[in-house]
Structures are given as structure tokens and as C-alpha cells.
Amino acid sequence: MQRLDSRDPAFGDHFARLLAVKREVAEDVDETVRAIIADVAARGDEALVEYTSRFDRLEVGPETLRVSEREIDAAVAACPREALDALDLARARIETFHRAQVPADHRETDALGVTLGWRWTALESVGLYVPGGTASYPSSVLMNAVPARVAGVPRVAMVVPTPDGVTNPLVLAAARLAGVDEVFRIGGAQAVAALAYGTATVAPVAKIVGPGNAYVAAAKRRVFGQVGIDMIAGPSEVLILADASANPEWVAADLLAQAEHDPAAQAILITDDDALADAVARAVEGQLATLPRAGIARASWRDYGAIVRVARLADAIPLVDRLAPEHLEIEAQEAEALAARVRNAGAIFLGAHTPEAIGDYVGGPNHVLPTARSARFSSGLGVLDFMKRTTLLSCTPEALRALGPAAVTLGRAEGLDGHARSVAIRLN
Amino acid sequence: MQRLDSRDPAFGDHFARLLAVKREVAEDVDETVRAIIADVAARGDEALVEYTSRFDRLEVGPETLRVSEREIDAAVAACPREALDALDLARARIETFHRAQVPADHRETDALGVTLGWRWTALESVGLYVPGGTASYPSSVLMNAVPARVAGVPRVAMVVPTPDGVTNPLVLAAARLAGVDEVFRIGGAQAVAALAYGTATVAPVAKIVGPGNAYVAAAKRRVFGQVGIDMIAGPSEVLILADASANPEWVAADLLAQAEHDPAAQAILITDDDALADAVARAVEGQLATLPRAGIARASWRDYGAIVRVARLADAIPLVDRLAPEHLEIEAQEAEALAARVRNAGAIFLGAHTPEAIGDYVGGPNHVLPTARSARFSSGLGVLDFMKRTTLLSCTPEALRALGPAAVTLGRAEGLDGHARSVAIRLN
């Protein structure tokens, strides 16, 4: 963990260095991924079965690639009641929040008689990638599938690798709760290829969403164009703005909740209070002693953690906007006023009783959020990611007479006489 | 041009082949582009000046990279009044249409005392790429810059190469009309790099939009992540649905308005009327004789044009959804009813008096639209492309007590005890 002070003459350089830190080493897997995609596109199920045997050590046939409803029933039955109830509470709140995001269509007829507007439609189908193994999170299934359902996507397919045949029952339970239509026990670049190009068993989709490892990310980049993709997520981040009113143990717990994700995660505290800074630094060390994932959290805090001291909390606003954090917590007296001045953040958590983990699970807003400073130009996942807008235009003969001459002029000015003619031919 | 008939037993294969046609040869310029970007990122203005000399044969210094207000004044003075008036009409209509797209913020407090919602903010800065030479379209300047302005982007910078020093005065006039703040006479991968990484003269932006050649497209793909980018546009397309009521000369003019863009453009007619199909085919040949860009349009129509005969126009709907055309014109009796059944199209033009060229210039909707079947999963350019959404969450102590236990349960179920602890520590 490094400590910075905005009153230090070299602060500008220090902060620029903090901003520039690359927390991800991009593995060069592109050639491997290219070959897998081409193979699945050419040989379909046969290739899927082979790769699943090779990478997941799982023998399946085309007829068992899909997880049956009975298997999902059994998985649900194997989940603790308490966890199912918590998942269902999460689903209901996520659904309510996202329902408010359903966009309105628009249509009007202007004074010239031009009718214009737009219409939103759901994507025809979506594929949801869910990682296997330890990073297989039922909460992420809900965060991806529920907005798709709210958007009205008629077909939601999910792929989840089951290395050595091991499935996470809560992941299947979340799929059931969220209304996922089809689940396939495939993963890696081969699953992305199947969703993009289709096989006899896996029908192709229009868009692929969800997190994955370097192979999955490279495969998504590669099939982009053939299908839509969501953002490529990087390691998670939290930035906490806190003043003397904050509880240092709570702040430390929130920093560590982020750090435990990944050695490449980043947790930063910005404060105007030296005593809080010191107390949080001590509390982090204290809590690490008893944290199950202390190894991961300690590495993240050591390599990427930071405590930044500013003269006044208002001075932090331009720093926040440059960092453009995925998660911003504000535990300070003037939380609302500070939040109102922030331009770049994926999600803001206001006040001492709103730890980010509430938002990860049951708050209602989406936990799929822009990382690596991309909150400067992008939003978290939402209903709009599962819909697209078609604009509409309709002219009466009179409207065309009013607007046509300007279109003819511009078409000719751009050297596109065919454009001009397609209008002029209707004006005679 | 090929003719297909849905009543032909082999139609399924023929249509699948039409869908699969690749109209673009991807030039492999990635290594060149990588080197240029690295060089501009390292050497800044010095590299920009060198590349501009080399590629555009234009000698500039850092102090003349930016186009001065006096030069823009002079360009505006050099434009015909009629063209300026047409551009201003276009600007006003584009602005009015896009104002209706400004999204609403949302905030509510639920029964548990959780306040949640979201806030939309404009991107802090945007860079607009405008091609030089013959594909330098003032209308595209308006279509990209006006929505950025409507979104409230405080800084809109534009780059436009001026090969051999040649500028298009209407492009500069459009920039002035649209309220572009800065114009730089640079292009290619070097301009994209300058916008992404910044130089002493060109401040970096948060997102780069606008069309360009293979080098520009490769550069945009490469800087994605460092900045946001818009879609990578492919060759333009129109699909016209027409019945016996359509005027074959008008339909032919609309097909050619598309075909004249690019030898790789695609124009398709689907009709339920043999007489119309034949008349349109004849009219296309007739009109080609007098079209200034006949060479381009003829190549496009020959290589990628198609007339598809269906038994009933309603049978065309699934074909439309599979083609997912950038532009869909419906010149038929039941235009509205047919349009209502279409899921995948970038923009729909309804009725015989709405040639697509009206939408290219003065209709109001954006002419930057998804190509190459990407209307299955994406929308045309709009105000939302220049804004991003930050979600907000705030719990009272009581709300946290109500929601906290479920979050603790899910955190533990996912093996993220630090998440669970950050909530539990506040519940005691």
C-alpha cells in the first residue's frame, strides 16, 4: 500500500503513476483461441465434445451437452434453503430496479408532416457465459440474466464449464430463478464459438455477455461483429472517500472486500483526516489476520492499495473523475453533495451504512460495472444492453416537398448524385 | 444482381449464401497501426508532424496542427449560401430529434428505506474522426457532433486530414454549425493515437467516434479501452420491401443511391410482384446510364445486389430479421403493419415518399447506423452514446438490517468472506 498526499509538491507525478498502473498482464492466447473458434465453427458439436474432454476432463456426447431440467431440479434441491431465499430476494430486487430502465418508444409528427421517432426491441437471443470453478458466482448469473429477461429477450442460453464434472448447484439454481431457458456444460473459447456460430445442439445467439478468463475474453473480442458482446471486464476496484466521521473498521472491511477478489484488484481510500488514514491502515492489517482469502487480499493491498490524503474532501473530486472507479463509496458528512459533483464512476454507494457488498448482491443495481477507468465512457450492465433502437421516418408528399430540396442540395454537395436523384425523382 | 425466389426449393440455401457474403476484405494493417500509435504516444506532436508530412504531404508545425477560427471563417465564407442553409436545416432537425433522446435520471426510496436509482452524465470529452478526400461528408459531421452537444459533452474535438492541404469548406462549416470546439488537420492512425493518448497540442478525449479507412478502424480497435469507441462501420446497405403499388423508377433510384456509396455496398429488393421486380431491374439499368458514380453503383449492384421474390410480403419479415439491414424502406400498402413486425433493422423508412436519402441528410434521425447484420444487437448513434449512467445506492441503518443478512449469506456461499464481513461488521 502506498500513501500519497495532495499537499506534497510531487503529488501530481505520484497520482499520475497511480493512474497509469497496469494491473493486468494480457496473456497472449489469441492464436489458440482463433484455432478453437475456427474448429467449432467447422465441426460443431464434434469439436465441442472433444474440447470439453480435453480441457474439462469431462466425457459428454452431443445429447448430454445440455444440462437437463432434472439435473437442475436436483441442484436446486441440494442448495441450502437460506441461500435460495437470499438468491430469490436478490432476484426480486434486481428485477424491480431494472424494470425502471425499460426505455420508452417515441413517435411524433412535426409541423411539416414528417412522422419520426424510434422503437426499442429486445435482442432475439442472448448467451450468458458463466465461469466454472471458484469464480462461479450465482450472483453474476442473476445480474446478467435478469436484465435480459426484463428487456424481453425471448431466448436466454447459458454456458458454464464443469471441470471434472463439478457443478455449482447455486449457479444452476440462480439460472432457474432468473428464467434462463437453456444451460450447456461447456466453457472456454469453444463455448463462445458455439454461441456465436451455432452447432447442431447449441443454436447461435445475437449477443454474448458475462465474465471469463483470458481465453474467454479473447474469444469474445474475436467473435465481436458476428455477435454483440458486452464489455471485457478487468480486475475489480473500489475507491472510498471518507472523512473523520467514518468508522475505520468499516472502511477497512470494505477495502478488503474488494481486495479479496483478485491479487490485481485495487482498493483506494481518499480522506482529509490523518487520524482516519492511520486507523484504517492499522485496521486493514488487523482484519487480514482472520480473513480466509488473506493471501489474495494482502497481495492486492500491498501492490495496488493506496491511501491518499487531501486537504479538503472537495479536492478529491477531480481525482475521482480521473480514476473513474468501478465502485465509489462515500462515507462522509456531505456524501450527497460530494456525489453530485462526481462525473466518472460506475456506481456510487452513499453513506456509512451502504457497503459495496450490498450492491454486489441484494441492492438492486447491477454489479457488472465498468473497470480500468472505463467509467469515463461507459455504463454498467442494464436493460439497454439487451435491446436495440430502430429509428422510424415517414414523409407525406407535402413533407417531402418541404424537405426534399435541402436533401438534393446536400447530396449534390457531397458528390452523391444518386442520393439527390432519389429525392428529386419524387418531386416532379 | 441475383434473383431469388422463396418458392424455389433451393431458396433456403440461396438465401443463406446471400446472408453469408463477405463484402469487405479486411486489410492487414495492424502492425503498421501499432507502430504509429506507439510512436505518437511516445513522441507526441513531433510524431504527428512527421506523419502528416509523410502521409498527407502537408508541412505543419505543432502551432499549425489546429485549424484556426479565421480559417474556419474563411471556409464558411467560401460555401454557397444554399448549401449552408441546407446544412443548418439539417442541424436543426437533427438537434430536435436527438433532444428527445436525452434520458431521465431515476431515484426512489423503497419500502425498506433503500434509496436507489441512477444518474446520466455526459462524457467529459469526445473526439470526432472525419475522413479527408472524397468521403469527407459534412452531413456526417452533423450526425456525430450534434448528439454529442445535445448530450452536454463539454469538449468536442474533431480531426480531419487535409491531403496536400486540401480542405472541404463544407466540413469546416458543418463543424462550426454543430459547435465543434477544436479542429485539427490530422488523420489516419496518428490522429486516433493523438486523441487517445494526447499530445502537447491535442488534449486526450474519453471517446472517439466517426468513420474512417482500414487504418483508422484498426487504430480505433487498438485504442479501445484507453478510450471508448463507437461501432466500426462496414459498407452501407439498403433493403427495400415493395409491393405492386410501388413506383419502379423510385425504387430503382433508392437502390442506386445506396449502391453509389461503395462497390461493397448492398442494395436488395424484396417484392411479392413479378412485374415490379422486372420493372425495377430495367429501371436500374436505365438510370445507371446517367449516374455520375455509375462505375461504383454498377459494381455494387452486379456483385451484391439482389431481387427476392416472395409469395406474400408478410413472408419477407423473417428474411428481413435475418438480414438485419442498416436501412429498411417499405414501399407497400401495409407499410406500418409490416414495420411493426420487424425486429432487426437500423432505421425504417415508411411509405413511397420517404426515400432513404431524406434520412441521410435532413430527416432528423441519425444516419450512423449498424451495418453487416449488427442491427441484430446494436443501435444507431444517439445521445446515449455520449453519456454514461452511474447507479446510486444508499441504505439507512434499518435498511441495512433488513437486507444485510441475505448479503452475508450470499457472500459466504460464494466463498467471499470479506464481502460478508463488510456487511456483518455493521450489523452488530
Consecutive H or E run containing A394: strand A387-395
The model's pLDDT over A235-252, given as tens digits with 9 standing for 90+, comes to: 999 999 999 999 999 999
CA distance A163 to chain B (A): 17
Question: Is B414 known as a binding-site position?
Answer: yes
The model's pLDDT over A323-371, given as tens digits with 9 standing for 90+, comes to: 999 999 999 999 999 999 999 999 999 999 999 999 999 999 999 999 9
The model's pLDDT over B333-353, given as tens digits with 9 standing for 90+, comes to: 999 999 999 999 999 999 999
The model's pLDDT over B161-195, given as tens digits with 9 standing for 90+, comes to: 999 998 899 999 999 999 999 999 999 999 999 99
A207 inside domain: yes
Taking CA atoms, what residue in A is nearest to B85? A406
Q: Is position A327 annotated as part of the catalytic site?
A: yes
B35 inside domain: yes
Same domain membership, residue A242 and residue A158:
no
Q: Show residues of chain B in contact with A115, CB under 8 Å.
A: 350
A256 inside domain: yes
Q: Show residues of chain B in contact with A411, CB under 8 Å.
A: 357, 360-361
B383 inside domain: no
Q: Rounded distance, CA A380 to CA A101, Å?
A: 12
Same domain membership, residue B65 and residue B142:
yes
Same domain membership, residue A146 and residue A90:
yes
CA distance A166 to chain B (A): 15
Determine the average pLDDT of the residues in A26-52. Answer: 93
B114 inside domain: no
**Nearest by CB: B357 against A347, A354, A419:** A419
pLDDT exceeding 70 applies to what percent of chain B?
100
Binding annotation of A for NAD(+): 129, 190, 213
Angle (deg, nearest 10), helices A169-178 and A81-99: 40
Least confident of A152-156, A357-361, B13-17: B13-17
Domain boundary among A209, A229, A249: A229
Residue B121: beta bridge partners? B388
Catalytic pick among A327, A329, A331, A367: A327
A255 inside domain: yes
Taking CA atoms, what residue in A is nearest to B114? A363
Q: Show residues of chain B in contact with A343, CB under 8 Å.
A: 121, 124
Taking CA atoms, what residue in A is nearest to B399? A353
Same domain membership, residue B281 and residue B355:
yes
**What is the average pLDDT score of chain B?**
95
**What is the distance in angstroms between the CA of the first residue and the CA of the last residue of chain B?**
75
Taking CA atoms, what residue in A is nearest to B386? A377
Angle (deg, nearest 10), helices B397-413 and A81-99: 120
Same domain membership, residue A244 and residue A315:
yes
Taking CA atoms, what residue in A is nearest to B391? A347
pLDDT higher than 80, residue B284: yes
Same domain membership, residue B149 and residue B50:
yes
According to the 3-state scheme, what is the secondary structure of A62-125? HHHCECCHHHHHHHHHHCCHHHHHHHHHHHHHHHHHHHCCCCCCEEEECCCCEEEEEEEEECCC
- Which domain, by its residues, includes A402? 396-427
Please report the pLDDT score of residue B134 as a whole number. Answer: 64
Q: Show residues of chain B in contact with A87, CB under 8 Å.
A: 410
ipTM of the complex: 0.95
Same domain membership, residue B99 and residue B224:
yes
* The total number of structural domains that make up chain A: 3
> What residues contact residue A117 under an 8 Å CB cut-off, 6+ apart?
A105, A106, A107, A108, A391, A392, B100
The model's pLDDT over A280-308, given as tens digits with 9 standing for 90+, comes to: 999 999 999 999 999 999 999 999 999 99
pLDDT higher than 80, residue A276: yes
Question: Is B98 known as a binding-site position?
Answer: no
Tell me if A253 sits within 8 A of A290, measured CB to CB: no
pLDDT exceeding 70 applies to what percent of chain A?
100
Please report the pLDDT score of residue B23 as a whole number. Answer: 83
Judge: A426–B378 Cβ closer than 8 Å, yes or no: no
Catalytic pick among A237, A260, A326, A331: A326
Place A234 in a pLDDT band, splitting at 50, 70 and 90: confident
Please report the pLDDT score of residue B231 as a whole number. Answer: 84
In a mutagenesis test of the B interface, which of A362, A366, A383, A408 is the best target, namely the one with the most B β-carbons within 10 Å? A362
B115 inside domain: no
Cell output for A134: 471458484
Determine the average pLDDT of the residues in A121-139. Answer: 91
Q: Show residues of chain A in contact with B348, CB under 8 Å.
A: 390-393
Question: Is B258 known as a binding-site position?
Answer: yes
Domain boundary among B320, B349, B364: B364
Same domain membership, residue B147 and residue B17:
no
Same domain membership, residue B46 and residue B158:
yes
**Nearest by CB: A400 against B225, B358, B422:** B358
Question: Is B367 known as a binding-site position?
Answer: no
Least confident of A67-76, A131-140, A399-408: A131-140
pLDDT higher than 70, residue A134: no
Domain boundary among B318, B344, B364: B364
Q: Rounded distance, CA B224 to CA B208, Å?
A: 9
- Greater confidence, A121 or B428? A121
Same domain membership, residue A287 and residue A222:
no
Q: Show residues of chain A in contact with B225, CB under 8 Å.
A: 232, 372, 374
A113 inside domain: no
Cell output for B272: 411479392
Judge: A253–B407 Cβ closer than 8 Å, yes or no: no
Tell me if A327 sits within 8 A of A26, measured CB to CB: no
The model's pLDDT over B116-155, given as tens digits with 9 standing for 90+, comes to: 999 999 999 999 999 987 668 999 999 999 999 999 999 9
In a mutagenesis test of the B interface, which of A361, A369, A400 is the best target, namely the one with the most B β-carbons within 10 Å? A361
Please report the pLDDT score of residue A376 as a whole number. Answer: 97
CATH number at residue A313: 3.40.50.1980
Same domain membership, residue A253 and residue A287:
yes
Same domain membership, residue A41 and residue A187:
yes
